[in-house]
Amino acid sequence: GENVEQHPSTLSVQEGDSAVIKCTYSDSASNYFPWYKQELGKRPQLIIDIRSNVGEKKDQRIAVTLNKTAKHFSLHITETQPEDSAVYFCPLRDGATNKLIFGTGTLLAVQP
């Protein structure tokens, strides 16, 4: 089945710096790659996604890049702000069972 690996598990940056979180997948048939953000005490919410026929997608300060050959996709946050502090998830669908697996996520802390 699909296995979600996120790196790093925790990330601390200074306000204004960039942050990059990487997600590795194993199923070559995967074709949709979302990123979710969960602020403390709140529900997870989709912030950006990318399909396998696109290499990069941007939305203001966040972007997602996809490397199909290496089977990984990354979330890029530029000019980080304290409100970017959250846990970020890259859920993947197990093609055999159709289960959506979230994993443990990455805790991003932006220090003011």
Partner 1 sequence: NAGVTQTPKFQVLKTGQSMTLQCAQDMNHEYMSWYRQDPGMGLRLIHYSVGAGITDQGEVPNGYNVSRSTTEDFPLRLLSAAPSQTSVYFCASSFTRSGSGEGQETQYFGPGTRLLVL
Tokens of 74: 């990354």
Nearer of residues 11 and 78 to partner 1, judged by Cβ = 11
Query: How far from each other are the two terminal CA atoms of the chain, in whole angstroms?
Result: 40
Q: Which of 45, 67, 81, 111 binds partner 1 (CB under 8 A)?
A: 45
Q: Cα separation of 1 and 17, whole Å?
A: 36
Amino acid letter, 7: H
Compute the least distance from the CB of residue 32 to partner 1, in Å: 5
59, 75, 105 from 14: Cα distances, Å: 21, 17, 20
Compute the least distance from the CB of residue 15 to partner 1, in Å: 26
Q: Is 34 in the site for partner 1 (CB under 8 A)?
A: yes
Phi, psi of 107 (to 5 degrees): -90, 115
Residues 82-111, mask of contacts with partner 1 (x by CB under 8 A):
-------x-xxx-x-xxxxxxxxx------
In the complex, which residues of this chain contact partner 1 (CB under 8 A)?
32, 34, 36, 42-46, 49, 89, 91-93, 95, 97-105
